[in-house]
Structure 1
């Protein structure tokens, strides 16, 4: 029971950390957080405008400067533009960007207040319809879109890395070739691999002479193959390296030597005995591989312009003032759900033995 309590506490602290870090950009200010600048025509005076914007006061009537409640400059700027007689409304830039803990604290408190008192996770503007969409309604669609290629890609990564690692252990020549390919892939940046996959899809389309693969998201049509291969390829490289080391370790054990001496082939030993004994190593690397898959998914969605969970965070067209932290927390929950699954699998499949001291 204490162990469960510690893990729950760690999960809560992790989510709080994700929430705080996802708002770190709010700490960097390039505009005055409590001022706006307006230009009006003869039909309205600055005094009248100030009265129509509750909580504001005139700082400089000649320059059209208004002081507004702290942190609400963006809201008041938009409201001012709806008032008849206002020709222009803009923020007031600072001479140089500054780091403001006050504004960071203000935005975090505002989000927490909206979340717990109103259940408001934030909003964003859809780049296609130009309408504001609430995150609470958009998250299920984003999650479903992401899972259509994330889960199959992760499953393929597990199967691919396991089979290739076993294949590399059949003969030294095959192992040397596959280890060389693995070393090459490890040295390449994830972004470069994704671009290569995308270029391959483009050249395949040119070679065939007609449309073959969807490269970027167009309306409701979402690319599948590019993010799917990206998620499958990058984590499998990490898992392959771990499994190769684990299999080499097991091949040096006494039970393998005995099995080979009794007439079993190397392939039979690998699939019947070694594979079962490297299960713990596989389950140990899976959390890291899943994190890599999530990062690869975000990059692939950004490159392909997909409005999934990862693409929402990276693509500027989807980013909103109050919605970034909500999506980051959801991604954190997805990663934690997989980690819980792996912990349950370890408990179920990994057999632990303990030595008992003689009395």
Structure 2
């Protein structure tokens, strides 16, 4: 129970950290947080406008400056534009951006208040231009992301294990795969994704007809590019770890004994070594999953996909009123995989202490 309590506390602290860090941009303030500027025609006075905006009062009637409640400048600026006779309403820029802990604290408290009332924020759909509640969009984002994230991660695990075993069976194959691994380790994620996209484009030109979707178009979502990206990048990390682990196991006495008894290298690898490197596989999977999530976000941004990662990065979704909600969901997805790996480690990895007790 103590161990479960520590893990729950760690998870809670992690989510709080994600929530606070996802709002860090609110700390950098470039406009006056309690002022707006209004331009009116002759049919309405500044005093009338101020009366129609509860909580505001005139700072400079000639320049059309109004003081509004702290932090409500965007809300009051939008409301002012709905008043008949108001020609223009805008925020008041600062001479230079400042770091404001006060506005950051205000934003965090305001978001928490909305969260407690079930309001996770809204975003403007880039196709319909309508505001959509994030609480309704998150399940769709999650489903869209999981359609290629889970298969891609499973392929990465399977591919890296098979490649590591293949490299261990043949010295020549091992040299080739190790060289390819060293090359892929040095390449940035976005470069690999661009190469995959270019490959799809050239394949389309070469064959003379449509091959696969490059970017999201309406409800049609690319699958192959994010799938290959998620499968390729984590597999590089898992492969490197497994090569070291298998090399370590091949030097153990039980392997030497098995080979001396007449077992082939392949039989030893699959019957004994693979089982003994399972702990190494489960130890590297949390990091590989984190890399897969980061690669997924980059792939979604490049392909214009409105998944969990795309919503955070794509400029068309930057009008979102609560980015932290999606960041927390991504954190929960990562924590769910980490919990799964912890359960698998407990199930399949035998500790020396557990053997002694038995």
With the shorter chain as reference, the TM-score category is over 0.9
Counterpart of 1:317 in 2: which secondary structure? helix
CA distance in 1, matches of 2:206, 2:150: 30
Alignment of 1:43-62 (within 5 A): 43-62=43-62
Q: How much does 1:351 deviate?
A: 1.2
Contact 2:165 2:269 in 1 (8 A): yes
CA distance in 1, matches of 2:113, 2:66: 27
1:108 aligns with 2:105: no
Q: How much does 1:134 deviate?
A: 0.4
1:70 aligns with 2:101: no
Q: How much does 1:321 deviate?
A: 4.8
1:148 aligns with 2:147: yes
Residue of structure 2 equivalent to 1:297: 296
Residue of structure 1 equivalent to 2:163: 164
Residue of structure 2 equivalent to 1:89: 89
Residue of structure 2 equivalent to 1:129: 128
CA distance in 1, matches of 2:42, 2:273: 85
1:219 aligns with 2:218: yes
Task: Report the TM-score when normalising by structure 1.
Answer: 0.98
CA distance in 2, matches of 1:167, 1:18: 40
Counterpart of 2:315 in 1: which secondary structure? coil
CA distance in 1, matches of 2:344, 2:5: 20
CA distance in 2, matches of 1:297, 1:238: 16
Contact 2:124 2:320 in 1 (8 A): no
Contact 2:111 2:322 in 1 (8 A): no
Contact 1:124 1:133 in 2 (8 A): yes
Task: Report the TM-score when normalising by structure 2.
Answer: 0.98
Q: How much does 1:322 deviate?
A: 2.5
Residue of structure 2 equivalent to 1:8: 8
Counterpart of 2:128 in 1: which secondary structure? coil
Residue of structure 2 equivalent to 1:259: 258
Q: How much does 1:356 deviate?
A: 5.6
1:190 aligns with 2:180: no
Counterpart of 1:351 in 2: which secondary structure? coil
Counterpart of 1:82 in 2: which secondary structure? coil
Q: How much does 1:144 deviate?
A: 0.2
Residue of structure 1 equivalent to 2:204: 205
CA distance in 2, matches of 1:4, 1:233: 34
CA distance in 1, matches of 2:315, 2:35: 25
Q: How much does 1:174 deviate?
A: 1.0
Q: Which runs of 5+ in 2 are unaligned?
A: none
Counterpart of 2:169 in 1: which secondary structure? coil
1:234 aligns with 2:197: no
Q: How much does 1:228 deviate?
A: 0.1
Count of residues in correspondence between the two structures: 356
CA distance in 1, matches of 2:68, 2:136: 32
Counterpart of 1:169 in 2: which secondary structure? helix
Contact 1:111 1:322 in 2 (8 A): no
CA distance in 1, matches of 2:150, 2:341: 14
Residue of structure 2 equivalent to 1:269: 268
Decide whether aligned partners of structure 1 residues 34 and 183 sit closer, same or farther in structure 2, where only a CA change above 3 A counts: same
Q: Deviations over 1:280-301 (max 9, x none)?
A: 0000000000000000000000
Contact 1:22 1:328 in 2 (8 A): yes
